[in-house]
Chains A and B, each alone.
Chain A
Amino acid sequence: MHEAEDLLRVENLVTRFKSVERGKWVTAVDDVSIRLAPGEMVGLVGESGCGKSTLGRSIVGLERPQSGRILLDGVDLSSLRGRALRETRRAIQYVFQDPYASLNDRQTIGETLTEALIIIGMTDREAQRRRVHTLLDQVGLPDALAERYPRELSGGQRQRVAIARSLAVEPRVLICDEPVSALDLSIRAQVMNLFLTLHKDLGVACLFIAHDLALVRQATSRTYVMYLGKIVEDASSAELYARPSHPYTQALLGSIPSADPRVEAHREPPPIFGDIPSPTNPPSGCRFRTRCPRAMEVCASGPPPRLALAPRHHASCVIAGDLYAHSHPEPHRLPMPA
């Protein structure tokens, strides 16, 4: 790893919550390390409850991690306090899933954006007005929208406003938590393309948290796969989809139904058992072993090693090497979800 290159580094992060069961803890993020280069688009995929949102929320400070470090430009954020922390961490912004709840319905769009500008100390009215205009333009919204209230906007428009608000503070990293999953199919592409444009024009790095693998494959250059609080596999997106080398990644990719009924008529869903277990009481050893079709005795004995399969491809599974060797080098034909 080239440490100097990384814009954002998360090292051995652990975030726990008190469980509803008395005296028990839920370890939502368990010893996770990820990194983001400047201007890089990175995906983080996994099923609900795997801790991917908690990881994103811990990075921006919405959750308090138990241990581990978050470094922005080499500066450990836990070494900062109060105003200094707020001003430094501002470079990392968060886009929420629900565009209906992320805007204050009592503020107009203009007021919402202006407030973000006031927060970063822009007090001149004329400058604020010009900047609001620029921001709306950047996310492809007409200027007239500044006078409107969120309830008058469609879901897609609201999500654009939320993105514009994050851009107001000139972030270097955007953490996007399922930013299009609440939107209609015909609108998703528009918002996804907005992210691609912003990435290209402004050079913002993105951590793209999603459960939609096809979306992540096309939008990102690298992908992390998370299961029950752990990163189980990471690789360049093209390679991950072509040569998935963790049984979970394979199951995940194989579960996506194709939009082609001819393919569907013959496709057997992958043999993955049951639901994701409760993170209050995760399985010993490899966390996936209770659902894994390839589980062996050794899987229960201890956490699987993180194997390097290629220079930028790692998987935490004892048989990852085999799976990698036997995977077809041509791309996975299946993912074509809606």
Chain B
Amino acid sequence: MMAPETSSDLLQVSHFSVDLYTARAALRPVDGVSYSVAPGETLAIVGESGSGKTVLNFAPLGLMPTGVVTDLSGSVLFDGQQLVGLPEPALRRIRGGKIGTIFQDPMSALNPALRIGRQIAEVAELHLGMTHAQAEARALDLLKLVRMSDPQARLRQYPHELSGGLRQRAMIAIAIAAEPRLLIADEPTTALDVTVQAQIIGLLKDLQRRLNTAIVLITHDMGVVASIAARVAVMYAGRLAEYGPVEQVLLTPRHPYTRGLIAALPSVDDAPGSPFRGLPGTPPVLGAPLPGCAFAPRCPQVIDICARQYPPLRGSGGPGPGAAVACHVVNARPSKEQAHA
């Protein structure tokens, strides 16, 4: 049973897989993932490096490194439009238009040779069909919207003249320039300091309220998840391990992997010098899809079937009792016990 797919969803991903081919091997970084995002909602996609969380979001937009051959299967419905199999020119109109993107490293995503104002105005000209003058005016409005100090002066500055936090604000201004319905933010605060991170998250929340933009936030930071997301999808080795409302996933995690991740966060109750809690072993190396549960080798609750059969995601990912979990052990338990698990 997958997430409830109502027609009101802005983004509907179902049974989506990505096959990636290199000279050495064929890999499947994303394997049969389903989720949905409603307009104005924030979904956090949490996972470690190599879990496929970035490929999952950028492959449907045609944003893969050059020279990498990928095959997409399944369905990614955005605003009623099928993105899987959409030719590049059509994707280009959607990217930066109805879907804005924010990257971890604003320096490499911004054009170093263009002034900030021009880069924002360009998006408005391209996607909104504005005239030069209109677009320049809009760039100024956007810089005010992302709460840049001294916006007039910033318009004429180059990316290298800005600090990390200001660059990320400029990046956000570009991403929202064409009034996107969906914002995909890949680790938007990871490269920033905590004091700046808090400001950027506050800004994103504020923008979302004002523009009713849906946000897909790719992150590994549970604190960021808790502060902004309504729902969470936890990825492990290309598959969803757990999917549900943020309170349930963070406060009463059910999948052994999610439980381990959340237990691993240092807490104030840990005495100084006491050992850190973590997960044993290492995440699997990307390759062919595993026949069983990818987490089985590290799982404290592993049973025989885990290595043989892949556990399907069961439960409702929407509001309702309990998050959807892909685990043989958890799903075999009667639901009474789940609350205490």
Please list the residues of chain A having a beta carbon within 8 angstroms of any beta carbon in chain B. Answer: 41, 47-48, 154, 156-157, 184-190, 192-193, 196, 211, 213-215, 217-221, 237-238, 241, 251-252, 255-264, 267, 269-270, 272, 274-276, 278, 291, 331-333, 335-338
Q: Which of B48, B265, B282 sits near A337, CB closer than 8 Å?
A: B265
- Asked if A256 contacts B282 (CB within 8 A), the reply is no
| Cβ contacts under 8 Å, A215 to chain B | 266
Nearest A-chain residue to B191, judged by Cβ? A48
| Cβ contacts under 8 Å, B201 to chain A | 257, 269
Known: A260-B250, A267-B227, A269-B198. 5 other contacts (CB 8 A): A47-B196, A185-B220, A186-B298, A192-B278, A252-B194
| Cβ contacts under 8 Å, B282 to chain A | 154, 156-157, 187
Nearest A-chain residue to B277, judged by Cβ? A189
**A264-B226, A336-B267 known; A47-B274 Cβ under 8 A:** no
Nearest B-chain residue to A43, judged by Cβ? B272
- How many residue-residue contacts, CB under 8 A, span A and B? 161
Separation of A15 and B52 alpha carbons in the complex (Å): 42
Min CB gap B203→A, angstroms? 11
Interface bracket on B? 35 or more
**A189-B279, A276-B193 known; A184-B49 Cβ under 8 A:** yes
- Asked if A274 contacts B268 (CB within 8 A), the reply is no
Interface flag for B65 (CB, 8 Å): no
Q: Which of A192, A217, A338 sits near B221, CB closer than 8 Å?
A: A338
- Asked if B273 contacts A219 (CB within 8 A), the reply is yes
Q: Which of A186, A220, A262 sits near B264, CB closer than 8 Å?
A: A186
Separation of A275 and B194 alpha carbons in the complex (Å): 10
**A252-B194, A337-B221 known; A264-B227 Cβ under 8 A:** yes
| Cβ contacts under 8 Å, B197 to chain A | 255, 257
A-contacting residues, B250-286, CB 8 Å? 250-251, 260-262, 264-268, 270-280, 282-283
Interface flag for B88 (CB, 8 Å): no
- Asked if A252 contacts B264 (CB within 8 A), the reply is no
- Asked if A259 contacts B250 (CB within 8 A), the reply is yes
- Asked if A257 contacts B268 (CB within 8 A), the reply is no
| Pairs A–B under 8 Å by Cβ, sample size 10 | A186-B260, A186-B298, A188-B264, A188-B278, A218-B266, A261-B246, A270-B198, A336-B223, A336-B267, A338-B221
Separation of A47 and B199 alpha carbons in the complex (Å): 15
Interface flag for B247 (CB, 8 Å): yes
Separation of A210 and B164 alpha carbons in the complex (Å): 18
Separation of A259 and B163 alpha carbons in the complex (Å): 27
Min CB gap A295→B, angstroms? 15
Contact flags (1/0) for B204-247 with A, using CB distance below 8 Å?
00000000000000001111111100000000000000000011
Q: Which of B166, B194, B247, B278 sits near A256, CB closer than 8 Å?
A: B194
Q: Which of B250, B264, B283 sits near A189, CB closer than 8 Å?
A: B264
| Cβ contacts under 8 Å, A196 to chain B | 273, 275-276
- Asked if A260 contacts B226 (CB within 8 A), the reply is yes
Nearest B-chain residue to A242, judged by Cβ? B268
- Asked if B276 contacts A193 (CB within 8 A), the reply is yes
**A186-B279, A338-B223 known; A217-B251 Cβ under 8 A:** no
Q: Which of B195, B196, B247, B267 sits near A261, CB closer than 8 Å?
A: B247
- Asked if A257 contacts B283 (CB within 8 A), the reply is no
- Asked if B278 contacts A241 (CB within 8 A), the reply is no
- Asked if B276 contacts A218 (CB within 8 A), the reply is yes
| Cβ contacts under 8 Å, B106 to chain A | none
| Cβ contacts under 8 Å, B224 to chain A | 257, 338
- Asked if A274 contacts B149 (CB within 8 A), the reply is yes
Min CB gap B125→A, angstroms? 30
- Asked if B194 contacts A211 (CB within 8 A), the reply is yes
- Asked if B278 contacts A190 (CB within 8 A), the reply is yes
Interface flag for B202 (CB, 8 Å): yes
- Asked if B276 contacts A262 (CB within 8 A), the reply is no
Q: Which of A47, A237, A257 sits near B272, CB closer than 8 Å?
A: A237
Min CB gap B81→A, angstroms? 32
- Asked if B193 contacts A259 (CB within 8 A), the reply is no
Interface flag for B165 (CB, 8 Å): yes
- Which of B165, B222, B261 lies at the interface centre, i.e. has the most chain A CB atoms within 10 A of its CB? B222
Min CB gap A161→B, angstroms? 14
- Asked if B222 contacts A275 (CB within 8 A), the reply is no
| Cβ contacts under 8 Å, B264 to chain A | 185-186, 188-189
Min CB gap B33→A, angstroms? 20
**A258-B223, A338-B224 known; A238-B272 Cβ under 8 A:** yes
Top 5 A-B residue pairs of the complex, sorted by shortest distance between their CB atoms? A189-B278, A257-B223, A47-B193, A189-B276, A269-B198
| Cβ contacts under 8 Å, A237 to chain B | 272
A-contacting residues, B296-327, CB 8 Å? 298
| Cβ contacts under 8 Å, B221 to chain A | 257, 337-338
- Asked if A259 contacts B278 (CB within 8 A), the reply is no
- Asked if B272 contacts A217 (CB within 8 A), the reply is yes
**A218-B270, A276-B163, A338-B265 known; A259-B275 Cβ under 8 A:** no
- Asked if A218 contacts B193 (CB within 8 A), the reply is no
Min CB gap B297→A, angstroms? 12
Nearest B-chain residue to A186, judged by Cβ? B279
- Asked if A251 contacts B276 (CB within 8 A), the reply is no
Nearest B-chain residue to A256, judged by Cβ? B194
Min CB gap A238→B, angstroms? 6
Nearest A-chain residue to B230, judged by Cβ? A261
Separation of A337 and B265 alpha carbons in the complex (Å): 7
Separation of A189 and B264 alpha carbons in the complex (Å): 7
- Asked if B195 contacts A47 (CB within 8 A), the reply is yes
| Cβ contacts under 8 Å, B250 to chain A | 259-261
- Asked if A187 contacts B222 (CB within 8 A), the reply is no
| Cβ contacts under 8 Å, A213 to chain B | 194
Nearest A-chain residue to B275, judged by Cβ? A193
Nearest B-chain residue to A257, judged by Cβ? B223
Min CB gap B296→A, angstroms? 15
- Asked if A184 contacts B226 (CB within 8 A), the reply is no
Separation of A258 and B267 alpha carbons in the complex (Å): 10
